[in-house]
Amino acid sequence: MTLLYIVAATLLGGLLSVVIAASLTLTMLSRVVKGLVSLSAGVLLGTALLHVLPEAFESQATPQALFGTLLGGLLFFWLLEKVELYRHAHHHEGDGHDHHHHFDAQQAGRGGLSVLVGDGIHNFCDGIIIAAAFLADSGLGVVTALAIVAHEIPQEAGDYIVLLNAGFSRRKALFYNALSGLAAVAGGVVGYFLVGPWEAALPYLLVAASSSFIYVAVADLLPQLQQRLSWRQTLVQVFWLGAGLGLVLLARAALESHAH
- Vertex 215, ends 60 and 230: CA angle to 5°? 135
pLDDT by 10s per residue, the chain, length 260: 788 989 988 887 777 777 776 676 566 666 666 777 888 889 889 999 988 899 899 988 999 999 999 999 999 988 887 776 555 554 444 444 444 444 444 444 444 555 667 778 778 888 888 998 898 888 888 888 888 887 777 777 777 776 776 677 778 878 888 888 888 899 999 989 987 777 788 899 889 889 988 998 898 888 877 777 788 888 888 998 999 899 888 887 876 666 55
Helix (H) or strand (E) holding 117: helix 112-136
- At a CB cut-off of 8 Å and minimum separation 6, what does 66 contact? 56, 57, 203, 204, 207
**Which sign, positive or negative, has the C-alpha torsion 211, 213, 219, 225?**
negative
- Vertex 247, ends 133 and 53: CA angle to 5°? 35
Quick one: which of 34, 33, 16 has its CA closest to 25? 33
- What gap in Å lies between CA 242 and CA 221, rounded to an integer? 14
- What gap in Å lies between CA 171 and CA 13, rounded to an integer? 20
Please say whether the beta carbons of 160 and 29 come within 8 A: yes
| Cα radius of gyration (the chain) | 18
Q: What's the pTM value of the predicted model, to 2 decimals?
A: 0.74
- Vertex 72, ends 66 and 75: CA angle to 5°? 145
